[in-house]
A and B are shown apart, each in its own frame.
Chain A
Amino acid sequence: MKLNRENKLLIGLCTAAAILIAKLFTIQILDEDYKLDAQNNSMVYTTIYPTRGIIHDRNGEILVGNKVAYDFMVTPREVEEFDTLALSRVLDVSPEFIKDKMAEYRKFRRKIGWQTVVMIKQIPQETYMKFAEVAYKFPGFRGQARSIREYPFNAGGNLLGYVSEVDAAYMKRHPDEYKAGDYAGKTGIEAAREKELRGEKGYNIWLRDSRNKIMSRYEDGAQDKEAVPGNDITTTIDAHLQHYGQMLMNNKVGSLVAIEPSTGEVLTMVSSPGIDVEMLADIGKHYGEISSNPYKPMFNRAVQAPYPPGSVFKLVNALIGLEEEVVYPGTQYPCRMGYHFGRNKLGCHEHRSPINLEESIMMSCNAYYCYVLRDLLENPEYGSFDESMDKWNEYVKSFGFGRKLGSDFPSELGGFVPDSKYYNKVYGKGGWKATTVISLSIGQGELGCTPLHLANLCATIANRGYYHIPHIVKDSEHVTIDPKYKERKYTMVDTTHFPKVIKGMYRAVNSGFGSGGTASIAAVEGLDICGKTGTAQNPHGHDHSIFICFAPMDDPKIAVAAYVENGGFGATWAAPIASLLVEKYLNGEISDKRKYLETRVLEGDLMDRVKVK
């Protein structure tokens, strides 16, 4: 072939065609990106949200249900001129709000195209019905039903927890599980049982055009997925009791926990002040209000507040003393307004002296437990002070203190029980002795525990030596709880020692006024309540009022711990509250004799005493 101009041009033609074909080969065969882009371009997945599982109480009452709310949607492209004022009146929003929103949509009209966007989230059904009547006047607007939470009982926000839209941090913590727009349980039972409650999302696949206008179903819906509703949950909570407990704790700071000893099931868990369930359904709207409340209603004191256990802890020391044989039921110690060591004294209130173990519990003698702790720590059976201290620590921990109990409730606090290592660090090795740590005997000092720990202690004593890990979810049709909740957890103290302590607790409540029993106010005829008061010293103001009790003595059905911040003596607030709860649970109502007490508690307002930062 000659290389004349005709052929040169033909070569050029072929070259040009080769360039085009080569480029086509690259983008059609070699480069996979374009295929993915095409899918993203034309397929729209619309999510079908599942209904969340219902939360029942132990008797089948609905604690948390679902109700329909409407997301108010608008397709800006379809909107015609409308009466802003009329719409704002129907929707109960300001006309400016609607104007601003419409202006915003105009600004982003290119991006929005034919898409439908949410204008107002979760408008109540009544409001939506008002709109529905006049909807014909407002083309382009519509409501999309979405199920939201409903709370037939005011069972307390901290217990139930709230559900809200997931944020970026949450999505990062749960990769591949959540997408923007999804809701998830954030606290309480909603968070603890999120996996069961949430159900599975479904989707519809649509084909759309370049302006986001939906054109048709993809493969006529063959690839769509139905949403799977969440599983229902049965909790161990008694809705009525929970509600009553909340009323008792109204206007007081603290918490109230009730456990069924034979199972470890939490009957009531109140943290006060709490979040009203009215706010839960629309937490986003109230979040600022809640989080700026100085009493921190979001803070679930029942499982998160580290308190000193106070005199209630004497029960633990008594039991350890009995097991270690440093004290016997008959052991008597004198008390001269306290325990004197060197020039120091750990004070006590006035009561007769000397007294034995039972009476020490009944009258809550401080001096008695100083002797007990001293004998425990200076026990010659152990080679060293450190060793006996650590043994004591082991005992205390066997009651569940100083560690997370392992309940199914989220964000449980472990608390603190000191050991020799801790004191060696603080005072130096050999720099401390029994009298240095003597306040441990009466539940003060470095001890920290939650009301849940105290309720668990009470349940342990009620069971005469073992406990079930407290939990709030029961077995039900779709949910099986961890078998660990059915195990008995024994303490290191022999079960035979418990009745001796229980006698003291019985006498503390049922000896009548004037006997020296600290908790006579908690006595309810026929219920055989056994209890122990506690008054935790508080350097920042009024003492904390503490009371644990269980009843009936011989066949315990309920174990309660009440902790009232700045409530003063244990008998002043905690004992009435706890005993009222027990009475309500076992008798169903408060006897006439104790109505005055109920009234006093319900009307009592301690909020002024609580110092807030």
Chain B
Amino acid sequence: MRSLGGNSGRGLAKTIDWWLVACWMVLVFIGWINIYASIHSSEPSSIFDFDSRSGKQFVWIATSVVLAGLILFVINPRLYEGFSLPIYALTILLLIAVIFLGIEVKGSRSWFAFGPVRLQPAEISKISTSLLLATVMSQLGYKISRAKDFIITALIILVPMMIIVLQSETGSALVYVGFIFMLYREGLSGWLIFMIGMAILSFILTLTASTYVAVLVVVGVASLCIFLYSGRFKWWLIGVVPAIVFFAFLPMLMDILSTAVVGAEQMEAIAASIEAGEEVSLPFVMRIKPLYILLGCTLIAMPLLAFQAFREGNRFTYLALLGMVGGILLVFSTDFLFNDVLQDHQRKRIEVLLGLKEDPAGVGYNVMQSKIAIGSGGMFGKGYLKGTQTTYGFVPEQSTDFIFCTIGEEWGFVGTSGVILLYVFLIWRIIRNAERSREGFTRIYGYCVACCIFMHLFINIGMTIGLMPVIGIPLPFVSYGGSSMWAFTVMLFIFIALDRNERKYF
């Protein structure tokens, strides 16, 4: 290993992190042979046949090697910082242009087609966003906790993200959420990640349980945070927990109460006419919904907490209350988000994932088949080119988004966990190198690369084994496709080059 303060201008062999290069090579090779495995029976040909996907992938790999060489030996790594803004601006233009000029593939306009070559600007924008983030955040005096800096950072991430959503590529947009881990490393409050987690939880709860339950959970968690932060956990247990328990049973109590007042027959009659879509004037007791009581109590409690916070000068409580209000609003807008913002296919995928709808022949079919393929691999797999599920096309998109199925079926648990560990090693190595870097730019860019690879890894593999909804994003370096192969290679090798640059001169 190198020692700090070594001589400048050290040789190639010692400055490049060969571990990363080796990782890249192994992953690319795994991808290539598995692409061949997934297509060899439907398009029987040699692995090098340039009409087949494995042959084309070989071309993408070869060109990637050229790109990597250019990045490592030709392009001066110092240029990135200076050119990051123009590159970013150009990418944004491409992203917008593709909406109007791109070709439509599976319901989304995100591809440029130049003859046989297709290019997805969304893949490039991950690099340019990372570069600009690294540039901006490594400026002297940048502080993420400062509102202005935070907003600029957020905009750099959100602008391409939103445009990609407009292209109907919500999956790719989701990857940008991963930058939050980098922001966390750079000093963003952990509470933000916590709140995003809470937002996702309440979103899911609203869909699976009910608005009432979701609001109750949001209120409960917010109160816990407030009481914990101000060191009054005991009070929370004594004062708030019984209230939450009471509210948990409130809908049931209300039901009993209104039955007692109105009478069971009347209740049934009302229920029947509501089901029939008639307008009925409800008796007074039935008009009181448990949700109103819960919201009322919360409204009463809020000023009390705010007053106490004012007395103690506790800013956290304000923010927590703000978060809680935001959470409740999110719960109420979930219906809108779910039904109006999300696209049909995405909604279905989420519904299937959450078990709201059984649909084995439709959306769930992909996941079902993919799980069967991976599951049938067992411990050591069926052997290379011997898979029955992946070779005969039970798994859709199996050379691109579902390439992991082929690995799972033919290489078994040994293969799948091996690949995952390889990625973990790759990401760990990037983070380690980033942390050792003396320049903020390299560190931040490194974290961006790590975040992107991680998001792709987790979402892609999670999707094939039913942990995530079916979101069509590729497995880095492994999935078939020129755009993603080039983009990830460029992304990784820019980091390797930056890292090398430092080793060379320090």
- Which A1-30 residues have C-beta < 8 A from chain B? 5-6, 9-10, 12-14, 16-17, 19-21, 23-25, 27-29
B412 within 8 A of A: yes
- Residues of A near B181 (CB, < 8 A) are 9, 12
Q: Are A41 and B467 in contact (CB under 8 A)?
A: no
A110 within 8 A of B: yes
- Which B369-412 residues have C-beta < 8 A from chain A? 369, 371-379, 388-389, 392-396, 408-409, 412
Q: Are A207 and B392 in contact (CB under 8 A)?
A: yes
Q: A6-B435, A37-B376, A215-B41 are in contact. Are A20 and B389 (CB under 8 A)?
A: no
Q: Which of A6, A20, A209 has the largest count of B CB atoms less than 10 A from its CB?
A: A20
Shortest beta-carbon distance from B413 to chain A in Å? 4
Q: Are A38 and B375 in contact (CB under 8 A)?
A: yes
B213 within 8 A of A: no
Residue in chain B with minimal CB distance to A31:
B375
- Residues of A near B378 (CB, < 8 A) are 28-29, 35
Q: Are A211 and B376 in contact (CB under 8 A)?
A: no
Q: Are A20 and B467 in contact (CB under 8 A)?
A: yes
Q: Mark A199-211, 1 if CB is under 8 A from B, else 0.
A: 0000000011111
- Residues of B near A216 (CB, < 8 A) are 41
Please, how many residues of chain B have a CB less than 8 angstroms from a CB on the other chain? 44
A382 within 8 A of B: no
Q: A9-B185, A24-B413, A28-B416 are in contact. Are A34 and B392 (CB under 8 A)?
A: no
Bound form: Cα–Cα A195–B396 in Å: 46
A33 within 8 A of B: yes
- Tell me whether chain A's interface is mostly helix, strand or loop, or mixed: helix
B310 within 8 A of A: no
A42 within 8 A of B: yes
Q: Are B424 and A14 in contact (CB under 8 A)?
A: yes
Q: A31-B375, A209-B393 are in contact. Are A9 and B416 (CB under 8 A)?
A: no
Q: A29-B378, A41-B388, A209-B42 are in contact. Are A23 and B467 (CB under 8 A)?
A: yes
Q: Which of A12, A14, A28, A110 has the largest count of B CB atoms less than 10 A from its CB?
A: A28
- Residues of B near A41 (CB, < 8 A) are 369, 372, 388-389, 394
Q: A13-B428, A20-B461, A38-B372 are in contact. Are A25 and B185 (CB under 8 A)?
A: no
Q: Are A28 and B413 in contact (CB under 8 A)?
A: yes
Q: Are B420 and A17 in contact (CB under 8 A)?
A: yes
Residue in chain A with minimal CB distance to B379:
A29
Q: Are B388 and A13 in contact (CB under 8 A)?
A: no
B465 within 8 A of A: yes
B243 within 8 A of A: no
Contact of A209 among B373, B394, B421, B467 (CB under 8 A): B394
Shortest beta-carbon distance from B98 to chain A in Å? 31
Q: A16-B458, A17-B424 are in contact. Are A38 and B465 (CB under 8 A)?
A: no
- Residues of A near B392 (CB, < 8 A) are 42, 207-210, 215
- Residues of A near B471 (CB, < 8 A) are none
- Residues of A near B373 (CB, < 8 A) are 38
Bound form: Cα–Cα A399–B381 in Å: 72
Q: A13-B428, A28-B408, A42-B394 are in contact. Are A34 and B371 (CB under 8 A)?
A: yes
Contact of B375 among A9, A19, A27, A110 (CB under 8 A): A27
Bound form: Cα–Cα A80–B375 in Å: 39
Bound form: Cα–Cα A25–B417 in Å: 9
- Which A194-246 residues have C-beta < 8 A from chain B? 207-211, 215-216
- Residues of A near B375 (CB, < 8 A) are 27-28, 31, 33-35, 37-38
- Residues of B near A24 (CB, < 8 A) are 374, 408, 413, 416-417, 420, 465
Residue in chain A with minimal CB distance to B395:
A210
Q: Are A28 and B412 in contact (CB under 8 A)?
A: yes
Residues on A lying within 8 angstroms of B by beta carbon are 5-6, 9-10, 12-14, 16-17, 19-21, 23-25, 27-29, 31, 33-35, 37-39, 41-43, 110, 207-211, 215-216
Q: Which 10 A-B pairs have the closest CB atoms?
A: A34-B375, A38-B376, A209-B392, A42-B388, A27-B375, A210-B394, A28-B413, A209-B393, A210-B393, A37-B372
- With A10-B428, A23-B467, A38-B372 known, 11 other A-B pairs at CB within 8 A are A17-B420, A20-B420, A20-B461, A24-B417, A27-B375, A28-B378, A35-B375, A38-B375, A38-B376, A38-B389, A210-B393
5 A-B Cβ contacts within 8 A?
Answer: A6-B185, A27-B375, A33-B375, A37-B372, A210-B369
